[in-house]
Amino acid sequence: MSNELYDVTIIGAGPVGLFAAFYSGLRSMKTKIIDAEPAVGGKVRYFFPEKIIRDIGGIPAISGANLVANLKEQAETFHPEIVCNERVVNVVKLTDGTFQLTSQNGSIHFSKTIVIATGSGTFEVNRLEALHAENFPEAIYYDVKNMEQFRDKVVAVSGGGNSAIDWAQTIEPIAREVHLIYRGEDFKAHEESVKALKKSRVQIHIHHEISELTGFNNQLSATTLYCKQTKTTKTISTDALIVNHGVKVDLGTMAEWGFELADFGIVVDDEMKTTVPGIFACGDSASYSRKIRIIAAGLHEGPIAINSAKKYLEPAAADEAMISTHHESFIN
């Protein structure tokens, strides 16, 4: 345990926390970044490392894994302290105005300011609830880290949101068959994705949910689907099952850290200040009118939060960092 005092501690090493760590280096701030997960990358690493992301300006297409690798490399430019596997469970302001952060494992960290980039909190996927699901842990996927494992397989995808539709379509060209199973009727996904899905080879089973898995020796062979409308069942042969039943997000103890929370996050002003002086928020964790929860938006908010932290520590400091091409670290 180190008593070292940092200028800024960023809680959350998702895309936004990582870019904020780079930017705080541009501002010569001694920086620590802490994440509950075993590796950096946030939701992108956890949920969609193989998905192709196409809505970041200047990057027409990039896989989640490559984006995380790039962000990590960029974050490391100024050598921040990166701490993984630690969930921050408590933050208190000490009498000298600095902050003490405590992790679930008892580690203590000290910082003059805090930037919260915790997304929607720590995440845990909703598991499949179906008869015998516990017998086939190796055939059930809650995220997809390696698409090749579905080549020439019969794959069932369960869910009706963007992720389920994305995955059904992404693996369709390489899988032998893809079945999309959705208990509702109207998919909760982008219109264009739904249109493309309906034109694809994916076999769609609306009004159905998975009731039972069957197989032998932990090898999945079939999925039984129950139709909620007709109250009948049917069975489809299945080698692998991708489950996208949403995620439980947990803000944890954050409600006790003193700042105001809104329905979808931490209330911030246009300088990314929370209601606690010295604590700032950005990315998916920040809440304000017209907030967009995409990576590109967070990449803008991270630097604003860092600039506000810098000005909190040094009111006479410049409002923002020198643009990188003119920054002394990159000359020569």
Residue 275 marked as a ligand binder: no
**Given candidates 8, 22, 27, 37, which one binds ligand FAD under the rule CB under 6 A?**
37
Strand 108-116 to 279-281 pairing: parallel
Taking Cα atoms as reference points, which of 62, 61, 11, 71 lies closest to residue 41? 71
Residue 280 marked as a ligand binder: no
Please identify, among the stretches 37-45, 128-136, 204-212, 306-314, the one whose residues bind ligand FAD according to the rule CB under 6 A.
Answer: 37-45
Q: With beta carbons less than 8 A apart as the criterion, state whether 161 and 187 touch.
A: yes
By CB under 6 A, tell whether 284 contacts ligand FAD.
yes
| CA dist., res. 284 & res. 206, Å (int) | 31
* HSE of 4, CA atoms in CB hemisphere, 13 A: 11
Question: Between 17 and 25, whose beta carbon lies closer to ligand FAD?
Answer: 17
By CB under 6 A, tell whether 300 contacts ligand FAD.
no
For residues 78-97, which are near ligand FAD according to CB under 6 A? Answer: 87-88
Residue 40 marked as a ligand binder: no
DSSP string for residues in 50-82: SSEE--BTTBS-EEHHHHHHHHHHHHGGG--EE
For 22, 48, 156, 286, 313, the CA distances from 25, given in Å and listed in that order, are 5, 28, 45, 22, 15
By CB under 6 A, tell whether 14 contacts ligand FAD.
yes
Please identify, among the stretches 124-132, 147-155, 292-300, 324-332, the one whose residues bind ligand FAD according to the rule CB under 6 A.
Answer: 292-300
Taking Cα atoms as reference points, which of 88, 105, 89 lies closest to residue 10? 88
Question: Between 114 and 155, whose beta carbon lies closer to ligand FAD?
Answer: 114
Residue 186 marked as a ligand binder: no
Q: Which residues are annotated as a binding site for FAD?
A: 35, 43, 48, 88, 123, 284, 325
User: Interface with ligand FAD by CB under 6 A: which residues?
Assistant: 11-17, 34-37, 42-44, 47-48, 53, 55, 87-88, 117-119, 121-122, 163, 252, 283-285, 293-296, 298
